[in-house]
Structure 1
Amino acid sequence: MNKEILIAIQDTAVMVLFSTIFATILGFIPAIILTLTAKDGLKPNKTIYGILDFIINILRSFPFIILMVVLFPLSRILVGTSIGVKAAIIPLTIGTAPFIARIIENALREVDKGIIEAAKSFGATDFQIIFKVLLKEAIPSIVSGLTLTVISVIGYSAMAGAIGAGGLGDVAIRYGYHRNDKQVLIITVILLIIIVQILQSLGNYLYKRLSK
């Protein structure tokens, strides 16, 4: 059983790591576009902002289990299967990307407008303002938001275990629930709590360091 739990921890780590990285990449682009085209953005565009905002809201409203089932065909196309760790990364990425897009957008839009005006007065281009001013100032908030997102992804990965994704959720369902082994359930819950606490502490540390 110890071997299964160690493999499950590894599977959970792989799912969370890669889905968070891919979701951050996917979420970054719409976040920048939303920031630019917002009413108070550098390039206001009500149409583009409205369409992208609507799409992100729709994706955020999907319950993860339903989203995962809906994306089974896409997982088969991309990784050749709809079960397992690799397959779970697809819906985890797509389900998380809209949340990360909002986190980055909100962090960028919270930057003091006076800093932006100062950058404009020095002749900074929109590109420079986005990447050298807004992102630099927003990094602590982005890190804090990503910490919460990673913790949510851990929860999603545990839910994904209910439909064959692997990881700690899979162990809890197969060995703990179906076999009525309370010890396994307790161990998996404790491990998830420990992982979450470690990540939250790391996120808090990074936030404090970056805020200085």
Structure 2
Amino acid sequence: MLHAFVGGPFEWTGFDDPLDHDQIAALTPAPARPPATVLAPDADDEPLFAALATDGRLSYAELSAVAGWSESRAARRVETLRAAGLLYFDLEIANEQLGHPVDALLWLGVAPSAIAHVGEALARPPETAYTAVLTGPANLVVAVICRDTAHLYRFLTETVGSLPVHTLDTSTVLRRVKQAGSLMDGDRLTDPEPPPVRRT
């Protein structure tokens, strides 16, 4: 991936009734103060990252047990890593449970001069969960989440079709067994395995 337009730490906004700006502001934590020096993760952070990768809902008390630290040290380290941009939290959802059972990956071939225009245009629609520039014949990938195949068809013919795209390959997701960090059981996310407790 060379550049992401939407996805990763950016949110998917495809819900029928998304939060308004005031609701988002009320739920958004205050920006963490960036560290005074350049920060890099160290070996002591590995249990913390592993535990949060397994279950980002862990409390500071649970993280302290995993890392072998005090609760206050675990809280400070999480906030320091977050402020430095080395840690962010992402929410995984079962799209099917929210009425969006059709997922597809679109592999687009776009002229280099049009990549920014097409990438930005395809990052805006509510169906788009991820848009990024790649290398190779398909130089733009777009992940879309739709209500049904008719919705996907309209997205392909109307939204993508209105842009200067030379080639398009569409791969629909027939069965999802894993998302970014969660396993799927049918149309539901499975409970994460508990992280191992660090023995000191």
Superposition TM-score tier, normalisation by shorter sequence: under 0.3
Point out the structure with the larger strand share. Answer: 2
- TM-score (structure 1 length as normaliser): 0.25
The structure showing larger relative contact order (alpha-carbon pairs under 8 Å, at least 6 residues apart) is 2
